[in-house]
Each structure stands twice: as C-alpha cells, then as structure tokens.
Structure 1
Amino acid sequence: MLWPFTVQSLSLITGTLLLFLLVKEVYKIITSPLRPLPAPPVPSWLYGNDREIDQSDDPLFLEKWVDKYGRSFRTKWLFFQDRLNTADPKAVSHIITNDGKIYKKPETIRWILGRILGNGVLVTEGEKHKAQRKVMDPAFGSAQIRELTSYFVEESIHLRDIWISQIVDNNLDNKNGVAQFDAQSWLSRMTLDVIGRAGFNYNFNALNPHSEPNELNKAFGVIFGRNNNFTVWNLAQALIPDASFTGARTDAVPSSPPLMKPMTRIGQGLINESKAELKAFGEKDTVSRPKDLLSLLVRSNLSESAKQQRLSDEDILSQVPTFIVAGHETTSTAVAWSLYALTQHPLIQTKLRQECLSLGTEEPTMEQLNSLPYLDAVVRESLRVHPPAPVLQRVAREDDVLPLQHPFTDKDGIVHTEIRIRKGQVVIIPIAEINRDKAIWGQDASDFKPERWENLPDTSSSMPGIWGHQLTFFAGNRACIGYRFSIIEMKALLFTLIKAFEFELAVPKEDIVRKLSIVQRPAVKSQPEEEVSFHYLLGYILRVTNR
C-alpha cells in the first residue's frame, strides 16, 4: 500500500525540484546585471545566438555587431544563458591582469582540451599551471629558438622542392609552370614535421607523399582532421550522449584513446631517451646535446632551480600534444591566411619577394630573418587581421566589476562606466575584433596593410598583447608560451616560398570563407543543389618566379 504513495511522493518531489531549478534560472536571467547591455535579437530560446554565430560565413559578422551594439554587448547561449562579449580595451586588460585569479578558462573548454591533450599547460590552472610554465619557459627563449631555426628552414625548403617537383611533373606538355595545390594541407604537413623534429626529435614523415602516416601521425589526424568542427552543439553532444535534438555531430569531440594510447607509449620513450642523452652528454656539453623542446624541458625540469616544483613524467608527457597543438595547426593556418592576403595584394607580394631575394641566402639564420623589416611587417599584419584563434573565453570565479574605456548607454538613457558580473559568468573576448578596432588602427583597420607598421598610431600602445600590439598570442600569465617559435617558423616559410613562387587564388575570392575548427581556417564554400557545404581546402595557383 505504501508503494503508490512513495511513487507519487517521489514524483512530487522531483517536479518541485525541477520547478525550483527552473524558477531559479528564470530569476537569474531576470535579475542579471547584464540586462542593461545592448544585445542583438535572439533567434531561438533553445540555441540563443550561438548557432547563427557558428554557422555564419561572414568574416565580419562579429565586427558588424561591435559596430552596431558597441564594444560591450550581451548574447544568448544555450537555454537563454547570458554571454558577455567585450572588446573594450580596459575591460580586457582587467581580465588579463586577473587571469588565473578572478578568471579562468571555462570548465567545458578545459574538459574538451583535457580529453584531447591531457593535463598540459593549455588545460591546467592555478599553482599547477605556474609550476608547468616555470619549467617550460626556459625552453622557449630566444636562444633556444635560434637553435631550432635550421629545422624551420630545412622543412620549408623541403616543401618548396616538393611543390617545384609537382609543378614540373604537371607541366611536362604545356611548360607553363603553373600548378594548383591544396595549400592548407601541405602547410599543415610541413608544420607537423617541424614540430616533430623541433618539439621532441620525432619524425612524423608527413611531407613524404609516398609514405604511409605513422602511428602518431594517424592519431593526430583524428584530432585535427578537417571535418572536426567544435561548436556548442558538438559540446552538448559530448556532454549529453543522447542530445541528438541539438543536431550535433556525434564525432565532433573525438575521444582520447586513439590519441593517448600511442602518445603515452611513444612519449614516454622519448622522455626516457632525453634523460639518457642528457646523462650521456652532460649538462655542460652545449654542442652535442639535443636541441629539441622536449629535451630542453627535461633538462630544465632536472635543474636545481626547478627542484621545489619538479614535474612528473606524466606532466612532461602532457606537454607533447600541447606542443603539437601550439606549433602545428595554428602556424600552418597563420601562413595560409598570410598567403591568402598576399594573393589579394600582388604589389605587396612583389615587394616582399624583392626584399627576401635581396638577402642572398637560401638558409637564413634567425637574425637574418628578423633583419627583413617588410617580412616582419607582413607577418605582424597577417596575424593582426587573421588571428588563427579569433575568440577566447573566460569565466568569473567570483563576483567582479569590469571597468570600461568606452561607456555604454542603456535603453533608459543611463550611461554605464562599468559592468557588474556574477560568479560563473562567461565572458567572450573577440580577439579578431579587438585586433581590428578602428579606434586603435583607424578606419582601414580591417584592411591588410603591412606599411602601417612603419608608423604605428599612438593608440596601439594601449593593446596589452605579449607581442606586436595585438592579442593574437594573448597576454598575461596565459600568453602563448611558443609565440617566438611560431613567428620565426612563419618567417622561414614565407621567406622560402615567396622567393620561389607567385601565388594566386584558384577560386573566386567570394568562395573563401572563415570556418572554425580547433582554429579558424580559410575554407572554400561550394554550393551544391541541396545545401551549402564547406571543405577545408585552400587551393592556390602557384607560378614559379622567372628570375
């Protein structure tokens, strides 16, 4: 007799609890301190604005919202949750200053990265992150990157020679010296080979067109495959396995075993080799000892200065996939965007080529690459206009107040000079829009114009970025640890390729769109009869320069 009563009671308790949670969420929305902020229309109570952001192929989509609603505005996420979007320099500087204290990466993002990469420096927070950075920083200094520059140059020449060979093979009959390539794919292979050699003395053999990908190469293909598209809907699918109602792809967030099994086995072997080589060569043998980042990391970890915060082998092993993320896909994407920009500005391409040819060497050192001012300007401008990671997210660990450089006026005419946010509030930092802020760079801020670096506006000094008056490599204690590595690798690649080839787009400019995967790649949009599909293919027509 008690059973029906118990079921009814449980149903009542469950219903009451769900109603309480619903009322609580509605109350939070109604009383949100973000309500005075301007906001775009919300197309869906379920998806909020996020789906239209994810699916837009307009490169200036968020920039138009910034122009219309101001540097600080709110959008809706899943189930009508508020997201604060701010490109206000003062607010962003405040977040950067307090990154790791008041702000951190959202747990969902850390979960995805941790599932793919392990507990590396991109994932950890707090004291563990500080300990990892302290041990890793010495491996990424200028002196260490100088030692690795030869790897960048050698692999760039390897890629150049492959392209020349294919151009010759494709033009045996007409002799016009023209060929079309999937440039993004080749650049990705090249940077993978570089990070293999320079990162941990491992040969991915990715540039060899006749070889089968080795085990680790295949594993990373699962993670960095062109079809992976990380969006809120993919995340919902990962968090809620039965969430097919979101329309998310079931393979969007790859599980870690395909990567972590070979990574753990091979990585541990590489660490053991590094320890053995360090013991064999000795600490004072700076000529013979290995120069790769993993060996430098092992050496730094065993030094007396790291004695109090020494990392375990597991912690060091977690940095290997981090090296590949930071030094592989981001750099190849940055170079792809650089080449795209050069195809749109033939005079800039010619000017850059002339400067590179004037150096008189095929194998430049780091100092020689840095001595080319126009190459430096092209790299800076490309990274400013086309940052590979265009958006960052942070979540407040406690209630806070963001100061504003650009106040906003609410619908009642009240001027606000600060934004109050609650604990748990997610903040979106639109890196690309901040990099292209007209108040900093002028009305031509969205234009690719390397000459602007010859006479920087005074307003550019307000940018808190670690490099180049921009936020592409972010800033503060979460700034990109490998930014020097990436910059010199970009310069080596562009130096080598621009000397040998002329670049033109193989498709109309209008067909090139931005598509966000782990990074924001250039993509070719095709228009089949039924739906719009995207292919991660950036084809170029390459012409060997007549010299």
Structure 2
Amino acid sequence: MALVPGIHPFLTVLSQHAAMTALVLGGLLLSLFYRHFFARPDELAGMRGPRNTSLLRGNRDRLNVARTLEWQEMYGRTFKTHAMFSMSTLFTSDLTALQHILNRDEIYQKAPIIRWGLSEMLGRGLLVLEDEEHAKLRRIMSPAFSPSQVKLLTPLFLDKAMELVAFWSPTNNAGWTQFNVVRGLKAVTLDIIGLAGFGYNFHALAPGGDGSTGVTALGSAFRALFESSQTRVMTPVRFLRGVVPGLRNILPAPKHAVEARKAMERVGMELLLSAKRDEDGAEDRRDLLSLLVKSNMAESEGQRLSDEVVVAQIPTFFIAGHETTSTSTAWALRALAAYPEVQSALRSEVQSLGTDSPSFDTLQGLPYLDHFVREVMRLHAPVSFTNRLAMRDDVIPLSKDGAWTDVNGVVHESIIVKKGQNIQVPIGAVNRDRTIWGADADEFRYISFHAHLDLLKRGMSRPERWASPLPAGAASVPGVYSHQLTFLGGPHNCIGWRFSLAEMKSLLFVLVRELEFALPDGWTADDIVPASNAAVQRPMLRARPEEGTQLPLRVRRIGV
C-alpha cells in the first residue's frame, strides 16, 4: 500500500531510500562538522576577546578595521575572535609577533580553505602556492617586477592615463560632470596589466567597452566572476565546500564561476601557445609572460613550469594587478576631492615639471606626490586582513610591551599556538594603530596649500606626516614598503608592489594635471566608506551599500 495516496508503491520505496540516504548523509555531515569545529579543544579558551555573536558566522559580519581597533582598545594587542562555525581565531597586532608570523612561512601559511577558494577561481597561481613551489615561481617572475623593468613601463602607464582622461571627458566640456570613477579606474588598470604583463589588450577603455572590463571574452569572464557577491564573499556554503571536499560535487560552484574559469583558462592557453611560437625573439624580454614561457620550455626539471601553472598565473596577475591598484587610486581621488588644498598642492607640484611625460626617476623625485601616495596607502590598504594557519605547534614571541593577560588574570609573554590554529593578520589596523602613528592615526594628515607654497620657496614639498621623522614604533613594522603593512612583508610580500606604486603615481600625475575632482554637492568624505566583510576594501556609499562598489565624483577638465 502506498504511503501517500495516488503514488505508485515503487516510487514510494524510492522516496524512502532517498530519505534514508539523506538522513545518513546528514548524520555523517553533522559528525564531520562536530569533529572539525566543535570537538577539538579551543587552544585560545583563556584568551580575552569579543563575544561570539553567531554560531554560524562567528564575529565575521562585524569584521572591519574600525571594529578591530575598538577591540584592540578593549582587549589589548593580542586577542581572539571567532570565524565561520565559531572557530577561534588569533588576532595580534604586536609587531614582534607579526615579524615572526610573516617570515616563518614554513610554519604559517594560507589556510587550505583560502587556497582552495582562490584555486577554484584562478587555478594554481602564485597566491595559492606555498613552500618550494611558491619560492620557485617567485624566483622566475621577480625580474618582471624589478625597478629596471618598471622604469621601462612608465610610458605605458602615462599613455593609458591619458586615455582615461579622454574616456572621462569625451566632449572636452569645461563643466562639471558627475559619475562613478571606479569603472574607469578598473578599466585602465586592467588594460595596463594586460599589456604590460602579457601583451593582451582588454580594450576596456576603447569605444564599445563598458568602462570596467572591456569587450574581450576574458573581460566578460572577469565581470561575471568578480562582480558576483557569491564569489566575492565567503558564504557558509562556500566555506563548507572548502572544508569538506566531498561537498564540492554535491554543492557545485556557481555556474557563472565555472564558465568564467573556463574562459580564463582558454584565453590563458591561447596566450601561452602564441608566446611559445614567438619564443625565439623573446630571449631578452623580461615581461611576465616571456619569463613564464622561458621556464615552461626549460630543459632542467627543477626550472620547468607546467602548462597548468603558467596558465594559472595569467588570471592571477590580471586580478591582482588591477583590483588593488584601481582601489588604491580610487581612495586617492576621494582624498583629493575631500581636501581641495591637497589637490591644489599636488597639481602645483606636477605642473611645475613642464612636461606631460616624465621619466620614472622624475616621478619618483616628486616629494609631495610620493608622500601623498604613502598616506593614502597607509590609511586605505586595499586588503585589510590576511589569513595564516599554523602548520605545526609553535611559540610566537612578543615585544617587551606586548604581554597579554588572560581571563584569569595571568600574564603571558608569548603566544602558544597549536597546529591548525587560525590567525588573522590585521593589515589595516596596524597601519592605523595610534600607538605607532600617533593620536591622529585614523585621519588623513595634510598641510595647507599656502604652507605648501612656503615649503616650495624653501625647496621643500611634502605632506606633514611624512615631513617629520617617523615615530620610533613605525621602524618595527615588518612591511616591505614605507614602514606599512600594506604590501605585507616576508617571503609572501606583494611581488608587484613597485609596479603598483609606479602605476598609481603615473595615473595621479596625469589625472591631477588634466582634471579637477570634487565630492558631489552636499556630500562629505564620510559618505564614502570601505565595503565591509570583503577581501578588497572597495569604496561604496554608506547610505546605499546594497548598490555595491562605487565612488561618485564631480569631474571637469582643466584649462578647457
């Protein structure tokens, strides 16, 4: 007899089997989750920190730079929070501890779930690899980002910046026009990394481009992949697929992500094959693709890279090479619009050169531009946090004043971590730490236009924070650039940091010479805030976060 009237007994049996299978699978999953998240002891149980606000998401929804600084004021420089499924996470902004964590990459590596998430989108790129694979790939690619190679790319940076000016002011109208500048910045930086690294033209700024990803197949793939909240944010479903490999077939990746990955692999293989055909004429070239192809065709097994690894670097560097630089430049334009005196001072400096095509060395010799960029990068690190996982037990040293007190009042002068401990490196919080940078660490410090003119007369020109000797504490920040953590430090520092800074300075040089920027009428800088709970701190509107990444500014040509 059928359990449900009108349903064939055979179908009833099938449904019973399906229900039993689902019940067994559910029980197995619950067992796995319990063992993975809750059964293991919390090694940080005695460490103070904010209350866990969600069994499912932990403190993740509250995670941002401002909140981290608040927690640091409450609990000290070392405390714990909770990640997905309430996993305990060690937070420390102690500089001695960070020096240890960032330099001991054989112990502290990206968590497997992070590496899996990146590899699912980009393949086995530099951001995914660890240990000798990572070191080998960096050795091969480093010449593409050397000072001498970046010097050769400066004319390309400047030319593309002028294309952006034309893109933003096609009619040469002298009046103000308001639009979202993020689209153009993403377009120009995507064009630059495509041409500079791989000889691939996205045509993102060309007629017919959409102002962000261009008209090419790869550009469309990028838009599908990175404008989706499903791939930008670590949702519980993505998290579960990361920690339980068996779920990856049951809960497949979003269709658009799979299609985008295939498109990137297809274009990457086309670029690789084309470069192999031209390999004879590329012996002395130092662009990224030429270096990768040279290693791909090397006779030595120790130097050879597989096709898979070479192809994976192409989308990796397209993304890393344009997302962060476009975001940093957007925050720079927001600062210029918010502080007109800074904009005037910077324009005075760049116009004093008397040329619209300065060399790399000339750009580096502009002190106000240099120190303006330093302040922007300090205050608006495009990536505010990075993750590490302890691959074995360790004891993390602390600075002399970095001891932490547990919930029982016991003082600890080091941090004992066990294998598998999750660690969050608070990049943005270190860059804004008042104990390092002073009471105004959370503010954009600048000098007035008139003070700048006075400094010019005396042969000086620089924003105030960088004019004086840096605070003693800043000298210990373990970063590769300007005593900041923006580009990290240690073996996994950002390989393209020189490239990114030269590109940003070139863009600002041209944009400030040719255009004037202002906030929309009635707006303040506080109306534009970083995206919360996102890997890259893109600007968005405080009042309308659901509208996504945007930076509306009023823009007009100068001298038209």
TM-score (norm 1): 0.85
Match of 1:397 in 2: 391
Distance, in Å, in 2 between the alignment partners of 1:239 and 1:123 is 14
SS at the partner of 2:387?
strand
Match of 1:71 in 2: 77
Could you say if the C-alpha distance between residues 411 and 312 of structure 1 is closer, same or farther in structure 2, counting changes exceeding 3 Å?
Answer: closer
**Deviations along 1:166-186, whole A, 9 cap, x unmatched?**
562xxxxxxx62011210111
Offset, 1:190: 0.8
Q: Is the 8 A contact 1:136 1:297 kept in 2?
A: yes
Paired letter, 2:536: V
Distance, in Å, in 1 between the alignment partners of 2:92 and 2:511 is 38
2:479 equivalent to 1:478? no
Distance, in Å, in 1 between the alignment partners of 2:512 and 2:494 is 27
> What is the aligned-residue RMSD (CA, Å)?
2.9
Equivalent runs, 1:457-476 vs 2, <5 Å: 457-476=471-490
Offset, 1:366: 1.1
Distance, in Å, in 2 between the alignment partners of 1:198 and 1:430 is 31
Q: Is the 8 A contact 1:138 1:300 kept in 2?
A: no
Structure 1 runs not aligned, ≥5 long: 1-7, 169-175, 242-249
Q: Is the 8 A contact 2:116 2:242 kept in 1?
A: no
**Deviations along 1:281-312, whole A, 9 cap, x unmatched?**
363xx5xxx664212433466578x7632212
2:247 equivalent to 1:230? no
Q: Is the 8 A contact 2:477 2:483 kept in 1?
A: yes
2:530 equivalent to 1:514? yes
Q: Is the 8 A contact 2:197 2:289 kept in 1?
A: yes
Q: Is the 8 A contact 1:178 1:543 kept in 2?
A: yes
SS at the partner of 2:169?
helix
Match of 2:454 in 1: none
**Deviations along 1:346-377, whole A, 9 cap, x unmatched?**
22111111111111111222111111111111
**Deviations along 1:448-479, whole A, 9 cap, x unmatched?**
22422222223221011111111111111111
Identity of aligned residues (%): 40
Distance, in Å, in 2 between the alignment partners of 1:21 and 1:270 is 43
Counterpart of 1:135 (choices 131, 136, 140) is: 140
Distance, in Å, in 1 between the alignment partners of 2:149 and 2:298 is 16
2:425 equivalent to 1:429? yes
Counterpart of 1:43 (choices 43, 46, 53) is: 53
Match of 1:203 in 2: 201
Offset, 1:430: 0.7
Paired letter, 1:271: L
2:128 equivalent to 1:115? no
Distance, in Å, in 1 between the alignment partners of 2:172 and 2:186 is 19
Number of positions where the alignment pairs a residue of Structure 1 with one of Structure 2: 505
2:541 equivalent to 1:524? yes
Paired letter, 1:475: G
Match of 1:184 in 2: 182
**Deviations along 1:175-219, whole A, 9 cap, x unmatched?**
x62011210111001111111111111110111243471211101
Distance, in Å, in 2 between the alignment partners of 1:19 and 1:204 is 48
Match of 2:219 in 1: 217
Detail structure 1 runs of 4+ shifted over 4 Å in the superposition. Answer: 14-27, 237-241, 250-256, 300-304
Match of 2:293 in 1: 298
SS at the partner of 2:403?
strand
Distance, in Å, in 2 between the alignment partners of 1:428 and 1:237 is 19
Q: Is the 8 A contact 2:221 2:259 kept in 1?
A: yes
Could you say if the C-alpha distance between residues 372 and 299 of structure 1 is closer, same or farther in structure 2, counting changes exceeding 3 Å?
Answer: farther
Could you say if the C-alpha distance between residues 134 and 256 of structure 1 is closer, same or farther in structure 2, counting changes exceeding 3 Å?
Answer: farther
Equivalent runs, 1:108-507 vs 2, <5 Å: 108-166=113-171, 168=173, 177-211=175-209, 213-225=215-227, 227=229, 229-233=232-236, 235-236=238-239, 238-239=241-242, 256-279=257-280, 281=281, 283=283, 292-299=287-294, 308-405=302-399, 406-449=402-445, 450-455=463-468, 456-506=470-520, 507=523
Distance, in Å, in 2 between the alignment partners of 1:97 and 1:322 is 23
Paired letter, 2:292: L
TM-score (norm 2): 0.83
Offset, 1:387: 0.5
2:548 equivalent to 1:535? yes
